[in-house]
Amino acid sequence: MKNIFKEAVIEYVNSLETDVKDCKINPHTGYVSKIEIKGDFNFDIYAVIPKSKLDYIAEFWFGDSDDYDVEDLTKEIINLIVGNAKVIAKNRDITFNISTPEFLGKYDKIEYDDLIKFKFRNSCFYLLFKEK
């Protein structure tokens, strides 16, 4: 299952016309949104996205990194990644439903079972998985 989400993140980052690299740092700062998946697998998935990443994505999408809603952008990013993972999974006969994204605010320690760490444009972002 983790590989499906890695593929989804790589496709998302490539859509931003940049490359994915390995990240060695664990989550410590950023904004968090959560999506619940239920089906063949049941997880809460948290995206931890540093402000610098949000600024880059806002500039890329809207042409302005100063005038965007952090909550809306953070929720949209996790929705795109998890939605893409759902399509990839379906093509492999794995099914699950996804909840509406929920914004949790600034990162504070989150209990998780597994994580994926990615780096692009000199900072990391994360997907954290908590099995249900």
Report pTM.
0.91
User: How are the residues of the chain apportioned to helix, strand and coil, as percentages rounded to the nearest 5?
Assistant: 35, 30, 35
Report pLDDT digits (tens) over 40-57.
889 999 999 999 889 988
Assess whether pLDDT exceeds 80 at residue 121.
Answer: no
- Average pLDDT over the chain reads 91
Per-residue pLDDT reduced to its tens digit, 107-118: 999 999 999 998
pLDDT at 87 over 80: yes
What's the pLDDT score for residue 56?
A: 87
Specify the CATH superfamily of domain 2-131.
Answer: CheC-like (3.40.1550.10)
What are the φ/ψ torsions at residue 34 (nearest 5 degrees)?
Answer: -130, 145
pLDDT at 10 over 90: no
Nearest-angstrom CA–CA distance, 16 and 50: 16
Domain range annotation of the chain: 2-131
